Chain A
C-alpha cells in the first residue's frame, strides 16, 4: 500500500515536471545566445541579457503590457460594479417583468463571441470606438455569466442585515453600496480573477478592433514579434514571451489558493 502511494507520488511529480518543462525552457531560452538557444539541457551555457535588451529596444512590449493592464483592470472593475448591482436587483428586489429580464439576460449566454465578432466590430466602429481604448474596453464589460454568479451569491446572502438597515432608514441603494457590496468579497474575488485573466488573455477582439500600434495589447505585440517568417530569432522571441508572462506569473502565485477555491464558485453551480 505504501509502496503504491510512493510510486504514484513519483509518477505525478514526473508528469508535473513535464507540464512545467515548456515554461522552463522558455525562461532559460530567454537568457541564451542565439547559437545555444536550442541546447537540449536544463542549464544555460552562455548567459546573456542581449535578448532582453533587444526586446526593449526593438518592440513596444512595455507599452503593450501597460495597455493590457489598463484594459483588463478597467473592464474588470467596471464589470464587477455593474454585475453586482444587476445580480443584486435580480436576487433581492421586486419589480415588474423580473423573470422576463432575467431570462433575457441569461439568453445572451448562448451567443458565442466568435459568432458576433463581425457585427460587433461594425457596431463598435459605428459608435466611433474603433482604434481606441474605449473600443477595447466597453464591449468586453457586458457578460451575463458575471451577472448570473452575483445573483446566485445574493440569493444565499442572509437578509437580516438589510432588514436592519431599512429599519435604520437607509435606502435600497445605500444599503447595497454601504453594507452588501463590502460583504460580497467571497464572490468578487474569484470573479475578479476570472474576468482579469480572461481579458488579459483576449487576442481575437483586440486583433479585430484595433489597428493603432501604440494601443497593441501584449497578446498582439507578442504575436507580431514571432511573426510568420521561417527565420524566427528564437532567443529574442522567448525573451519577449517571458517578459509578457511576468505579470500573470506574479498574479498566479498570489492568487493560486483563491483560484483553486474559486473553482467551486465560478466553475460549477
Chain B
C-alpha cells in the first residue's frame, strides 16, 4: 500500500515537473533550437526568399571566404570591440571607485545622473546624438568652433563615424556597469582598507592591491557580457548611419541584416550568421560557464 502511494507520488511529481516545463521546452525548441539548426540548413542553399531553395553544399561558405566586404565588417566589429570594451570597463570601474568614496547623499545623486541614460531606448539615444553631432549646427561643433577649432563630420566621415558611435554606446551603458561595480565594491570588508591605511597605503595602493583583485569575478562578468553585446551591436548604427558612410560603420550584424532582408540572400546571410556564431562561440562558452559555474563576484 505504502509502496503504491509512493510510486504514485513520484509519478505525480514527474508529471507536474514536465507540466511546469512544457511551455518553455516547446518555446525554446521552436524559437531558438529549430532556428539554430535551420540557419545551418538554409546556409547550404541558394535562396532569395521568393524562389524555391536550391541545395548548393558549401558554396555560400566558399563565397563568404572570398567576400572582402564581409571580412571588412568582421574587422570593424573587432575594432569596435577593442575600443568599446576596454573604454567601458575602465570608465565604469573608475567612476564606481570615485562615487563609492562620496558621501551617501552625493553618491546617490551622482549615481542617478550616471544611470539616467539607461532610461532611454537605443533609438532615442541614436536620435539625440545625431542632433548633438549635427555637422553644421550641432552643439559639439558649436563648442569646437568656440575654441577656434573647425567643425567635424562626426557621422559623415569614414574616419570618425565608428568612434562617434562608440561614444553613444559608452554613454548609454556606463551607468549600469558602474552600479554593478559599485555593488561589488560595497561587499569588500572595510577592515581591509583600515588595515591598509594603518600600514600607510596610499589610496592608489588600496585600489591596486585590495579593490581591483577582489573585483576579479565582477570584472570577468562585465568583460564577457560586454564583449558579446559588442559583437552583436545593431540598433544605433542602423539608425545613425545605416552602416555608412562608405561602409565605414558596417559591422557584421548590419551586413548580415542587409544580405538577408535588403538583398534577400537568405541562404548567404545564414552562412554569414553561422560564421558569426562560430566567431563568438568561445565567448558564449565562457559566458555559459559564468552562469553555471561557481558563484563569483
Contacts and interface: CB of A to CB of B under 8 A. Distances in A.
A94 B13 contact: yes
Interface string A4-23: 01001101110111011011
Interface string A169-185: 00111001000000000
B36 A115 contact: yes
Interface of B: 10, 12-14, 16-21, 23-25, 27-28, 30-36, 38-39, 42, 95, 98-99, 101-103, 106, 109-132, 134, 137-139, 142-143, 171, 174-176, 179-180, 183-184, 217-218, 221, 228, 231-232, 234-235, 238-239, 242, 253, 256-257, 260-261, 266, 269-270, 273-274, 276-277, 280-281, 284-285, 287-288, 291-292, 295-297
Contacts of B101: 5, 8
A124 B274 CA distance: 19
Given A16-B114, A222-B123, A115 B276 contact: yes
User: What range describes how many residues of A lie at the interface?
Assistant: 35 or more
A13 B109 contact: yes
Given A13-B106, A114-B256, A203-B123, 20 more contacts: A5-B101, A12-B98, A19-B171, A22-B128, A22-B132, A26-B124, A83-B24, A85-B20, A94-B17, A112-B232, A115-B276, A142-B31, A171-B16, A226-B126, A241-B128, A245-B119, A249-B119, A260-B115, A268-B183, A268-B221
Contacts of A106: 288, 291-292
Interface string A110-137: 1111111111101110000000000000
Given A204-B235, A264-B183, A105 B260 contact: no
Given A123-B34, A268-B221, A93 B17 contact: yes
A12 B110 contact: yes
A256 interface: yes
A94 B98 CA distance: 48
A89 B22 CA distance: 11
A48 interface: no
9 contacts: A25-B131, A38-B134, A38-B138, A89-B20, A110-B285, A119-B270, A173-B19, A248-B121, A268-B183
B291 A109 contact: yes
B122 A201 contact: yes
Contacts of B180: 263, 267-268
A162 B97 CA distance: 43
A13 B33 CA distance: 47
Question: Taking each of A101, A120, A138, A200, which has the highest tally of chain B beta carbons within 10 Å of its own beta carbon?
Answer: A120
B121 A244 contact: yes
A219 interface: yes
Given A201-B121, A208-B261, A109 B42 contact: no
B23 A85 contact: yes
Given A172-B13, A263-B179, A118 B32 contact: no
B110 A107 contact: no
B17 A118 contact: no
A21 B96 CA distance: 20
Contacts of A234: 131, 134
B247 to A, nearest CB: 16
A29 interface: yes
Contacts of B36: 111, 115-116, 119
A12 B95 CA distance: 8
Contacts of A241: 124, 127-128
A259 B115 contact: yes
Contacts of A139: 31
Contact of A89 (B16, B98, B125, B126): B16
Contacts of B277: 111-112, 115
Contact of A5 (B13, B102, B114): B102
